């Protein structure tokens, strides 16, 4: 499973983490890949194979064709609804429960971190929540994920949309402030399963690197990014590397 070199980088990371108290972790779509949830970089299948995800997860696309974008999200919800946390989500939940000082931030819109038992800040919203595209009020009525007909707001009759941050939209202010505050205080920043190119979340590694503690940056990704901020690169799947890393942290407590 893990090569001696991967294990060596994991030990190097755990030695370093052990000596520090404030750890920030940022996860991306890659952490849910082993649960069977496709990343945006995976090719789409079936009905949607001729569309690029970036062209659908997009405020302009919803304004032009709300029905198309809503049906795509209904289809994604259908894909995601039975998915379960994998060993990577479980290892992070264990870390958070058994050791103090770890803040978990995610760009994912699934709820697999919560299902595993973690407390997590969502920078990009929630796949399972909806709101009005016109008046912004939450839409709390049950939604049938097998039906792709557009829904209307009870207050203003605007179209209902998923409560997700699309390309071209700003991040939720409270969550973004919380994330920035944690990253400013951290001594170690770990980016897991994220290509580190979608701003502003990608800027968090930079904020950590130049914060007053000059945090060390660790990356866990089977396809290493060329993020120049990274100090320790663990080139492995999150589901292989994290259980080993967390086991080492707990053993050494
Ligand atoms: P991303 O930019 O975070 O890229 C995915 C990264 O995961 C890639 O670098 C890839 O090498 C890596 N990866 C693949 N398998 C991995 C594994 N087993 N372990 C560790 N890393 C692995 O994500 P994206 O797909 O480009 O999506 C961008 C944004 O779109 C996300 O931040 C999110 O808002 C949204 N999105 C969310 C979900 C979800 O909630 N599960 C899924 C797709 C897209
Ligand atoms: Zn409304």
Torsion over CA: 3, 233, 120, 107 (sign): negative
What are the pLDDT digits (tens) for 163-190? 999 988 999 999 999 999 999 999 999 9
pLDDT at residue number 78: 92
Give the closest residue to 202 by CA, choosing from 109, 127, 107, 119: 107
Helix ranges, 19-86 (H): 30-33, 53-56, 59-64, 66-80
Q: For 224-230, what is the mean pLDDT?
A: 88
What are the pLDDT digits (tens) for 69-121? 999 999 999 999 999 999 999 999 999 999 889 999 999 999 999 999 999 99
pLDDT bin (cut points 50, 70, 90) of residue 48 is confident
pLDDT at residue number 253: 62
Q: For 34-39, what is the mean pLDDT?
A: 93
Torsion over CA: 83, 200, 118, 33 (sign): positive
Q: For 1-16, what is the mean pLDDT?
A: 94
What are the pLDDT digits (tens) for 117-146? 999 999 999 999 999 999 999 999 999 988
The CATH 3.30.1600.10 portion of the chain extends over 46-81+131-164
- Nearest ligand to residue 161 Cα: 2
Q: For 137-160, what is the mean pLDDT?
A: 95
CATH topology of domain 46-81+131-164: SIR2/SIRT2 'Small Domain' (3.30.1600)
pLDDT at residue number 227: 85
Q: In angstroms, what is the span from residue 47 Cα to ligand 1's centroid? A: 21
The proportion of the chain whose per-residue pLDDT surpasses 90, expressed as a percent, equals 83
30 to each of 5, 36, 136, 153, how far by Cα in Å? 21, 10, 30, 34
CATH topology of domain 4-37+85-124+170-251: Rossmann fold (3.40.50)
Residue 248 tokens read as: 């080492």
Q: Best substitution site from 29, 31, 237 to test ligand 1's pocket, by max atoms within 8 Å of Cβ?
A: 29
pLDDT at residue number 228: 86
> Which ligand 1 atom is at minimum distance from the Cα of 223?
11
Residue 18 tokens read as: 């052990």
The proportion of the chain whose per-residue pLDDT surpasses 70, expressed as a percent, equals 99
- Is the CB of residue 227 below 6 angstroms from any atom belonging to ligand 1? no
> Which ligand 1 atom is at minimum distance from the Cα of 165?
34
Q: In angstroms, what is the span from residue 70 Cα to ligand 2's centroid? A: 16
**β partners of residue 104:** 25
The CATH 3.40.50.1220 portion of the chain extends over 4-37+85-124+170-251
pLDDT at residue number 252: 63
Question: Is 115:84 a contact under the CB 8 Å cutoff?
Answer: yes
What are the pLDDT digits (tens) for 183-214? 999 999 999 999 877 777 789 999 999 999 99
Question: Is 201:29 a contact under the CB 8 Å cutoff?
Answer: no
Vertex 31, ends 25 and 36: CA angle to 5°? 160
- Is the CB of residue 52 below 6 angstroms from any atom belonging to ligand 1? no
Answer whether residue 247 shows pLDDT above 80: yes
114 to each of 27, 28, 117, 206, how far by Cα in Å? 13, 15, 5, 27
Q: 57: how many CB neighbours lie within 10 A of its CB?
A: 23
pLDDT at residue number 96: 96
Q: Best substitution site from 6, 30, 108, 127 to test ligand 1's pocket, by max atoms within 8 Å of Cβ?
A: 30
Name all contacts of 14-21 with Cβ < 8 Å and 24+ positions apart: 14/245, 14/248, 14/249, 14/252, 16/188, 16/216, 16/218, 16/232, 17/188, 17/218, 17/245, 17/249, 18/249, 18/252, 20/187, 20/188, 21/100, 21/101, 21/187
Question: Is 88:238 a contact under the CB 8 Å cutoff?
Answer: yes
pLDDT at residue number 81: 94
pLDDT bin (cut points 50, 70, 90) of residue 44 is confident
Phi, psi of 96 (to 5 degrees): -65, -35
- Report DSSP state, residue 47: G
- Is the CB of residue 137 below 6 angstroms from any atom belonging to ligand 1? no
């Amino acid at each position: 499973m893990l090569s001696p070199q991967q294990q060596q980088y994991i030990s190097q990371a755990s030695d370093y983490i052990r000596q520090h108290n404030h750890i920030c972790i940022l996860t991306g779509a890659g952490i849910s890949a082993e649960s069977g949830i496709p990343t945006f970089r995976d090719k789409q299948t079936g009905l949607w194979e001729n569309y690029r995800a970036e062209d659908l997860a997009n405020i302009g696309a919803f304004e032009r064709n709300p029905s198309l974008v809503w049906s795509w999200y209904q289809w994604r919800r259908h894909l995601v609804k039975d998915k379960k946390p994998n060993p990577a989500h479980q290892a992070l939940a264990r870390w958070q429960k058994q050791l103090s000082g770890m803040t978990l931030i995610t760009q994912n819109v699934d709820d697999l971190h919560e299902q595993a038992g973690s407390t997590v800040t969502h920078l990009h919203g929630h796949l399972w929540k909806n709101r009005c595209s016109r008046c912004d009020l939450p839409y709390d009525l049950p939604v049938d994920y097998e039906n792709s007909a557009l829904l209307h707001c009870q207050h203003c009759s605007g179209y209902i949309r998923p409560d997700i941050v699309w390309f071209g939209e700003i991040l939720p202010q409270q969550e973004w402030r919380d994330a920035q505050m944690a990253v400013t205080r951290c001594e170690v920043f770990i980016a897991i399963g994220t290509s580190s190119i979608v701003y502003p979340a990608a800027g968090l590694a930079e904020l950590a690197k130049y914060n007053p503690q000059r945090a060390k940056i660790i990356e866990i990704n089977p396809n290493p990014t060329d993020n120049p901020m990274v100090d320790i690169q663990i080139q492995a799947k999150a589901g292989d590397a994290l259980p080993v890393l967390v086991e080492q942290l707990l053993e050494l407590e």
